[in-house]
Structure 1
Amino acid sequence: MSTLAHTMMTAARHAADSGLAGPGELDRYPYAETPGSDRVGVPHWDGADIELSRVGRRAAGSRGRGLHGQLVQQLGQMIVSGDLGADRPLVPEEIGQRFEVSRTVVRESLRVLEAKGLVSARPNVGTRVRPVADWNLLDPDIIEWRAFGPQRDDQRRELGELRLTIEPLAARLAAGHGRPDIQQRLTDMVEIMGHALGQGDAITFARADHEFHALLIQVAGNRMLEHLSGIVSAALQVSGSPITACDRPSETCVAHHARMVEALAAGDATGAENAMRQLLTVHPEVERVVPAPREH
């Protein structure tokens, strides 16, 4: 195991309170390996969805500060879940009384929700919930709220379809922009994923997987693609559900990542693209996340 990879893998699961790591941040957690971590046992993924969901919720909650952030979170969840509809206006006085906050806090929160496309304020009409077609569905908050609401399955499917469009192209482009430092980093991520698989460590596996895909898109050399993928990457971090390239950690998942690294090192654009496409369509829930083409 490389020195960098070993440093990254010395991880304590209590750092999950910080949420999933962003690109280049996996080695910044002051982890300490648990006793017996060198022993390869039977992986335990039971409850991984729940634990990762808690991670996402904590990370998302930290984005809003104080009463204002809390109210945005509460109202946003109620709107996305359908508890607040367009049948009646959102009256600031009623909201303030219900949540025991000032009118200033209510007004600022409604402005945030308006910027996200969830509500609109008009003279003589008041503030009302807008149709779903007007929502900014790429907003990380809205993605999180959808991921924990009745639209969870739709959210997972749509993110899966978006990734299937973006990431094979990124892999193809990345094969023509080889950088030794990024290549080594990608290799380290695969090594970490393999080690985490043996330990049954779903949190570390997800972090390494996330960084792998973020790095790959960064090295693709397309700024527009990087901008779009940045939105998706942020969405994956706050969504709370394990919408990584692998819906469940597995040897097959690690093998596809390894093949991609090999193709990138060889400058094999087609091979890298195919490896990514297979990676995004082999996991157990492929029928739900990346469905077959719809019949017209």
Structure 2
Amino acid sequence: MSTLAHTMMTTARAADTGLAGPGELDRYPYAEARGADRVSLPAWDGAESDLGRVSRRAAGSRGRGLHGQLVQQLGQMIVSGDLGADRPLVPEEIGQRFEVSRTVVRESLRVLEAKGLVSARPNVGTRVRPVSDWNLLDPDIIEWRAFGPQRDDQRRELSELRWTIEPLAARLAAGHGRDDLQQRLGDMVEIMGHSLAQGDVITFSRADAEFHSLLIQAAGNRMLEHLSGIVGAALQVSGGPITGCDRPSDVALTHHARIVDALAAADGTAAETAMRQLLTVHPEVERVVPAPREH
């Protein structure tokens, strides 16, 4: 086993919580933060009982503190429809309900405004914007939709988007000859193989997410690389032990390895084909593979 594989698997077993930044191989699982790190937020009237639990869990895992937790709470409530355009968001009321300062409320609403969820205008106040104005490619909004009433649509849309992005990325990556990235992709396959043999689903999922992120980087297209966060979000909300998907399979591992082999041979067609086959059988997406729509 390579040094990288050993280090990653050891780290995975020791980690209890947390979602690290890109490249840190620490994207699973969502887990309840320890008592000292978790802040209990009062539930907004009319919100579903599990909504606050999910939002606190996500915010606690990311270590965002009060500001991040309020963004998560309000964001999920907007996306779920618990807060609509018919009801203005009054900063003073939010501060009282969630027991946070004006500064926290103000900064949280600014974040939501940047995501297209709300708008603040003089003499009108802060109101929820229509879905057509939301930044649906924002990883946070992807997550909120995936854990809300729109979960089925979100996962289908993410799967369709992956089918557009990743086969193209695999084809392009085969023509760039990035030996460093190809080596790292091979390392991820090695890690996935060892974790599969040991039944370590968490490490498999982390290596899988890193594999797909690296592949898009290897495509050498900066605009395509900008979409890598979407793929990461798709893997994060569509699979893994948190949503109870099937265990990683030998078939999925085989297709990952075939992609690496195709890249080494600079065979774009084979790389694209292997990626399409992977997206068909991969545990994280097999239940949301795009199907023809009825009109």
TM-score with structure 1 setting the length: 0.81
Q: Distance in 2 between matches of 1:129 and 1:247?
A: 37
2:144 alignment partner in structure 1: 145
Q: Distance in 1 between matches of 2:116 and 2:283?
A: 34
Dislocated runs of 4+, deviation >6 Å: none
Q: Any stretches of 5+ residues in structure 1 without a counterpart?
A: 30-50
One-letter code aligned to 2:19: G
1:221 alignment partner in structure 2: 220
Deviation at 1:124, TM superposition (A): 2.3
Task: Report if the CA contact (8 A) 2:116-2:129 is conserved.
Answer: yes
SS in 1 for 2:119: strand
Task: Report if the CA contact (8 A) 2:58-2:72 is conserved.
Answer: no
Comparing 175-184 with 53-62, which one deviates more in the overlay? 53-62
2:248 alignment partner in structure 1: 249
Q: Superposition RMSD on alpha carbons, in Å? A: 2.8
Q: Distance in 2 between matches of 1:107 and 1:116?
A: 15
| 1:116-131 matched pairs, under 5 angstroms | 116-131=115-130
- CA 251–75 in structure 1, closer or farther in 2 if over 3 Å, else same: same
One-letter code aligned to 2:169: A
One-letter code aligned to 1:268: D
- CA 172–285 in structure 1, closer or farther in 2 if over 3 Å, else same: closer
| CA deviation string 1:54-103 (max 9, x = no partner) | 38975654556433222212111111111111122112222122112233
1:201 maps to 2:200: yes
2:209 alignment partner in structure 1: 210
- CA 191–63 in structure 1, closer or farther in 2 if over 3 Å, else same: closer
- CA 240–66 in structure 1, closer or farther in 2 if over 3 Å, else same: farther
Q: Give the number of aligned pairs.
A: 270
Deviation at 1:105, TM superposition (A): 2.5
1:14 alignment partner in structure 2: 14
2:49 alignment partner in structure 1: none
Deviation at 1:225, TM superposition (A): 0.9
1:180 maps to 2:179: yes
2:43 alignment partner in structure 1: none
Percent identity of the aligned residues?
Answer: 80
Deviation at 1:253, TM superposition (A): 0.2
Deviation at 1:2, TM superposition (A): 3.3
Out of 54, 72, 78, the residue aligned to residue 31 of structure 2 is 54
Comparing 250-259 with 83-92, which one deviates more in the overlay? 83-92
One-letter code aligned to 1:232: I
| CA deviation string 1:34-70 (max 9, x = no partner) | xxxxxxxxxxxxxxxxx73438975654556433222
Task: Report if the CA contact (8 A) 1:54-1:240 is conserved.
Answer: no
- CA 77–135 in structure 1, closer or farther in 2 if over 3 Å, else same: same
2:44 alignment partner in structure 1: none
Comparing 177-186 with 75-84, which one deviates more in the overlay? 177-186
Task: Report if the CA contact (8 A) 1:141-1:238 is conserved.
Answer: no
Deviation at 1:202, TM superposition (A): 0.9
Q: Distance in 2 between matches of 1:84 and 1:151?
A: 15
Task: Report if the CA contact (8 A) 1:217-1:226 is conserved.
Answer: yes
Deviation at 1:239, TM superposition (A): 3.7
Task: Report if the CA contact (8 A) 1:20-1:237 is conserved.
Answer: no
Q: Distance in 2 between matches of 1:113 and 1:282?
A: 36
SS in 2 for 1:18: coil
SS in 2 for 1:120: strand
One-letter code aligned to 2:151: R
Q: Any stretches of 5+ residues in structure 2 without a counterpart?
A: 33-53
Q: Distance in 2 between matches of 1:161 and 1:19?
A: 25
| CA deviation string 1:225-272 (max 9, x = no partner) | 11122x31452476484399x974100000001111111111111000
Task: Report if the CA contact (8 A) 1:147-1:241 is conserved.
Answer: no
Out of 233, 255, 261, the residue aligned to residue 235 of structure 1 is 233
SS in 1 for 2:127: strand
